[in-house]
Structure 1
Amino acid sequence: MKVQYQDDKRMGVFVYDFNNKTASDRDIQDLKELVYEHKIVVIKEQDLSPHQYCDFGYRLGEIEKYYQPMYHHPEREEIFVSSNVSQNGQQIGVPKTGKFWHADYAFMPKPFAFSMVYPQLLPSKDRGTYFIDMSKVYQGLPDDLKSIANESSCYHSVRRYFKIRPEDVYRPISEILDEIERVTPPSKHPTTFTHPVTGETILYITEGFTYQIGDSQGKPQDISVLQSLLAHSGQLDKSFKYPLIEHHEFELGDLRIWDNRSLVHCAHYAANSEPAVTFRLTLHDRYPFYEL
């Protein structure tokens, strides 16, 4: 495989001439090391069936399927489908997923190491994802906020962005909220943690899922503390002009892998709702999600 590096001002590398079928175990390991080091790897000119896509994913790590079946691909349930296109009169997957700042599965006890996205159908413009490197955010925090972050934990929940399912129509909202709390109760994670591979300190908060910060004794802190941390990360900037926000575009044939420990992301969708279909896999690596 051939690797094309970007300048130091942007995350990520491009990989060319990569074939999962002929790649050695060393090639796969090299690919993972590129993700850890550069945060984002874009493998160019891929043409994979759903089965080949999953086969590749299993070479990189342990795939975990999404907990809600309505997102599943009809052939391979490991694939999370984001789509606004119906097939034979039926909706496959869910439209406009992830249009808020988040890290995948932050609301679960065991989030993922890698997120892997493979677009199948792209709009003519406004096609891509916004990213923020939360290790850089931590480095730039004022000392007082660093101290608070280092000695606290945060609580994360899917409740704010739970997608209503077809079977939820006409259900009382109280029943839906009770189900959310029962199936995906809030998860507690340290506000900062050490990346198990890179050794970087990560600020682990997201605008979409984080709803409370507590001190070392678990006492809830004023919401303004969490808001200050989010503001310093750029996640409250609705213009997406904050210096640490990077926009990465997609092309057909791109397969993008990123470090889900280090990065938060926000989907960018075309305003005119052109057809768009994306397949996602989420993977665990052999390390714990974080080291305390």
Structure 2
Amino acid sequence: MTHESTFARVPMVGDRGFPRLHFGTRELRRTAGEQLFGQPYERLTLRPVGVTIGAVVEGVDLAAIDDETQVELHRALLEWKVLFVRDQHLTGAEHIRLAKRWGGIEANDFFPNGEVREISRLAKGDTAVGMENVWHSDTSFRRDPSMLSILRAISVPEIGGETMWADMAAAYDNLPDGVRERIDDLTATHTFVKSWGLTMTDEAIAEMESIHPRISHPVVRTHPETGRKFLYVNEPFTEAIDDLPREEADDLLDYLLFQARVPEYQVRFRWEPGSVAMWDNRITQHYAISDYFPQRRVMERVTVVGDQPF
């Protein structure tokens, strides 16, 4: 779906020319017109739930997919960016085996793990309040950030606890021409210290920084498989835009971080026990809504190692 875009050039943020308001329609392209998406799906059924992002997959058993089905799932993932599959009561071993079809498993150094290190167990509610309610891209502080995340619901609250995802290619597409030109060649520094570091001692931060030192990634990243450009900064891990005066860099970063919050770029999912979400962590951000305390929400996630952004 494509619409003619209308950008409001005023009012501005300070005198640096960052538009604060956007009136009218937005350009909403699900893909960039790649030939990859011109063929039908034969081994699964897709039911779109968002305009550019998000589709429910039906007709598959994730515990027993074959190579041909995995190829179609991957194509659907590139097309829709996040896939939802219900009634998939995977064991931990099946969860890991599914993820390994896409590559090596990334062990998260900050999340508690389940019975095996490859699975991050996210149990919130009762006394532990959910804290993932910020727009983010997983592990962008790593040299090779996550490529794919697969999250399954073990138990969910009766009301609340939904998750949202944002299409960061749509966010980039709808930046004014002048802003896109300005940021295309910029880099930004990413670090875990901005978020995880808030709960760590200085000694623990120093130890973890020896494993995950600050690193610069492009502000505008290119998808390694589709060639699509997308915005690659996020609130908990992007510390600063490089090589700009501090005040200007802060204003620009604040403006770019805001783009994930635009509803036209988002999809929202209501969890049920056995629901699975698979998302392309490179081109999306997500937000776990923390509105269910003191109800309990238990999830398990397996993440696939990605490559260095370019």
TM-score (ref. length: structure 1): 0.82
- Seq. identity, %: 23
Over 3 Å counting, the alpha-carbon distance change for 1:180 and 1:77 in structure 2 is closer
Aligned residues: 267
Unaligned runs of 5+ in 1: 236-240
1:1-292 aligned at under 5 Å gives the runs 1-6=43-48, 9=51, 11-68=53-110, 71-74=112-115, 76-84=116-124, 96-162=130-196, 173-215=201-243, 222-231=249-258, 233-235=259-261, 242-284=263-305, 288-290=307-309, 292=310
Q: CA deviation at 1:96?
A: 2.0
Alpha-carbon RMSD across the aligned residues, in angstroms, is 2.5
Q: CA deviation at 1:114?
A: 0.6
CA distance in 2, matches of 1:226, 1:206: 9
Q: CA deviation at 1:269?
A: 2.1
Q: Could you give the per-residue CA deviations for residues 168-200 of structure 1, whole angstroms, max 9, x where no partner exists?
A: 6xxxx4334434433432121011121111221
TM-score (ref. length: structure 2): 0.78
Secondary structure of the 1:159 match is coil
Over 3 Å counting, the alpha-carbon distance change for 1:251 and 1:271 in structure 2 is closer
Name the amino acid aligned to 2:272: E
Over 3 Å counting, the alpha-carbon distance change for 1:148 and 1:164 in structure 2 is closer
Q: Is the 8 A contact 1:40 1:257 kept in 2?
A: yes
Unaligned runs of 5+ in 2: 1-42
Q: Could you give the per-residue CA deviations for residues 49-98 of structure 1, whole angstroms, max 9, x where no partner exists?
A: 11121122212322111124x61112x21001110379xxxx9xx86252
CA distance in 1, matches of 2:253, 2:62: 42
Over 3 Å counting, the alpha-carbon distance change for 1:77 and 1:266 in structure 2 is same
Q: Is the 8 A contact 1:160 1:208 kept in 2?
A: yes
Q: Is the 8 A contact 1:193 1:202 kept in 2?
A: yes
Q: Is the 8 A contact 2:134 2:235 kept in 1?
A: yes
Name the amino acid aligned to 1:72: N
Q: CA deviation at 1:249?
A: 1.7
Over 3 Å counting, the alpha-carbon distance change for 1:192 and 1:164 in structure 2 is closer
CA distance in 1, matches of 2:210, 2:204: 10
Over 3 Å counting, the alpha-carbon distance change for 1:162 and 1:71 in structure 2 is same
Instruction: Find runs of 4+ consecutive structure 1 residues off by over 6 angstroms.
Output: none
Name which of structure 1's ranges 117-126 and 8-17 shifts more when overlaid on structure 2.
Answer: 8-17
